Amino acid sequence: MVAISLLALAGCGGDSSNSPDPRPSGELSGVAFDGLIIGGDVTAYAWDGTKGEVLGQGRTDNLGEYSITLNEVPSQPILLKVTNGRYFEEASGRNVELQSSDALYAVYDYQAGDEVTTSLTYYTTLAAGLAEHMVRTGTPVRQAIVDANRTISDLLGLDIREVTPLEVTQVDNATPEVTNGHLYGFSTAAISQLTAWISEQNGTAVHQPYNSIRFAQAAYSDIRANGRLDGQGLDGIVAQGTVPLNQEIYRHRIAANMLVMANAPENRTGLTAADIVDHAIRFNESNASLWGSADIIPLSDAAPNMSNFSHATGDTVAGEIELRVSVTDTIGIGSVDLYLNGDFHLAGGASSEPRFLVNTTALEDGEHHFRLIATNVAGGVTEHDIVLDVANQGTTISDISPSHAQHIRGTHTFSASISDAFGLDEVRFIVNGATYFPSNLNSPSYDLSLAQFGEGKHTFTVWTRNKSGYETQRSVEFTIDNTAPEISWELKEGAYLERVYEFLADVTDNETVKSAVLYLDGNVLAEFSAFPRIDYMIDTRDFAEGEKSLSLVAVDKAGNTTTETRKVYFDNTPPTVNIVSPVQGDTITSDFYITVDAWDAVGVEEIEILINGAHHSYAPHTDNARTSVRVNTANFSNGPHQIRVIARDGIGRTAEQVITVIFAHEQPSMTIVQNRNSGTDYRLRIRIDNYDPSQTYTVESYQVAGANRGFGSINPDDDGIFSYGGVHFGGSPARPCNGRRTGTAELRIADGYSVSDTLTIPNAVYCGSWFR
If you ran DSSP here, which 8-state letter would residue 735 be given?
S
Put simply, whether the predicted model's pTM sits higher than 0.85 gets the answer no
- As beta bridge partners, residue 112 has none
Per DSSP, which regions of 467-541 are E strands? 471-480, 486-489, 496-497, 500-508, 513-520, 523-528, 533-539
pLDDT top residue among 414 and 1: 414
**Number of residues assigned to the chain:** 772
pLDDT value at residue 112 = 93
Quickly list DSSP for 431-442.
ETTEEE--S-SS
Is residue 715's pLDDT more than 60? Answer: no
Q: Picking from 423-427, 684-688, 765-769, which range would have the lowest pLDDT averaged per residue?
A: 765-769
pLDDT top residue among 247 and 688: 247
Instruction: State how far the Cα of 133 lies from the Cα of 219, in Å rounded to an integer.
Output: 13
CATH class for the region spanning 302-390:
mainly beta
Whether omega for the bond prior to residue 209 falls within 30 degrees of 0, making it cis, is: yes
If you ran DSSP here, which 8-state letter would residue 301 be given?
G
pLDDT top residue among 329 and 318: 329
Q: What percent of the chain has pLDDT over 90?
A: 65
607 touches 598 (CB < 8 A): yes
Instruction: State how far the Cα of 722 lies from the Cα of 725, in Å rounded to an integer.
Output: 10
- Among 9-23, 338-352, 460-474, the range of highest mean pLDDT: 338-352
Per residue in 61-80, pLDDT (tens digit) is: 999 999 999 999 999 999 99
- The CATH architecture one would assign to domain 669-771 is Sandwich (2.60)
Q: How many CB atoms lie within 10 A of CB 483?
A: 15
CA distances from 722 to 245, 568, 667, 699 (A): 95, 62, 17, 10
Task: Find how far residue 561's CA is from the centre of its chain.
Answer: 27
In this structure, which amino acid lies at residue 761? Answer: I
Whether omega for the bond prior to residue 693 falls within 30 degrees of 0, making it cis, is: no
Per DSSP, the three-state class of 126 is helix
* 456-466 vs 424-431, strand pairing mode: antiparallel
* For range 93-110, the mean pLDDT: 95
Q: What percent of the chain has pLDDT over 70?
A: 83
Instruction: State how far the Cα of 225 lies from the Cα of 292, in Å rounded to an integer.
Output: 13
Per residue in 500-551, pLDDT (tens digit) is: 999 999 999 999 999 999 999 999 999 999 999 999 999 999 999 889 999 9
191 touches 257 (CB < 8 A): yes
Enumerate residues 6+ apart whose C-beta is below 8 A from 710. Answer: 700, 701, 702
Of 424, 378, 420, 148, the C-alpha closest to 279 is 378
Instruction: State how far the Cα of 697 lies from the Cα of 393, in Å rounded to an integer.
Output: 117
Question: What are the backbone dihedrals phi and psi of residue 734, each rounded to the nearest 5 degrees, phi first?
Answer: -80, -10
Is residue 343's pLDDT more than 90? Answer: yes
Q: How many CB atoms lie within 10 A of CB 72?
A: 11
Enumerate residues 6+ apart whose C-beta is below 8 A from 3. Answer: none
Instruction: State how far the Cα of 264 lies from the Cα of 193, in Å rounded to an integer.
Output: 9
Per residue in 116-126, pLDDT (tens digit) is: 999 999 999 99
In this structure, which amino acid lies at residue 280? Answer: A
Is residue 335's pLDDT more than 50? Answer: yes
Residue 413 CB-density burial (10 A; 0-12 exposed, 13-18 middle, 19+ buried): exposed
Residues of the chain with CATH 2.60.40.10: 302-390, 395-480, 486-561, 576-663
Q: How many CB atoms lie within 10 A of CB 712?
A: 8
pLDDT value at residue 474 = 93
SS3 for 203-256, per residue?
Answer: CCCCCCCCCHHHHHHHHHHHHHHHCCCCCEECCEECEECCEECCHHHHHHHHHH
The overall average pLDDT reported for the chain is 84
- What is the dihedral angle through the alpha carbons of 90, 95, 100, 106, rounded to the nearest 10 degrees? 30
* 587-588 vs 654-663, strand pairing mode: parallel
Of 237, 1, 233, 27, the C-alpha closest to 113 is 27
User: Quick one: angle between helices 180-202 and 212-226, nearest 10?
Assistant: 100
pLDDT value at residue 3 = 30
Q: Picking from 554-563, 581-590, 683-692, which range would have the lowest pLDDT averaged per residue?
A: 683-692
SS3 for 647-678, per residue?
Answer: EEECCCCEEEEEEEEEECCCCCEEEEEEEECC
Is residue 148's pLDDT more than 60? Answer: yes
Q: Which CATH number fits domain 486-561: 3.40.640.10, 2.30.30.110, 3.40.50.300, 2.60.40.10?
A: 2.60.40.10
Of 288, 205, 141, the C-alpha closest to 526 is 205
CATH of domain 395-480: 2.60.40.10
Enumerate residues 6+ apart whose C-beta is below 8 A from 611. Answer: 631, 636, 641, 642, 643, 644
Sequence-distant contacts of 485-491: CB under 8 A, at least 24 apart: 485/509, 485/513, 485/516, 485/554, 485/555, 485/556, 485/560, 485/561, 485/562, 486/562, 487/552, 487/554, 487/562, 487/564, 489/552, 489/564, 489/566, 491/550, 491/566, 491/568
Indicate if the alpha-carbon torsion angle 76, 82, 88, 89 is positive or negative.
positive
Question: What are the backbone dihedrals phi and psi of residue 190, each rounded to the nearest 5 degrees, phi first?
Answer: -60, -35
Of 578, 576, 569, the C-alpha closest to 650 is 569
CATH class for the region spanning 576-663:
mainly beta
- The CATH architecture one would assign to domain 28-156 is Sandwich (2.60)
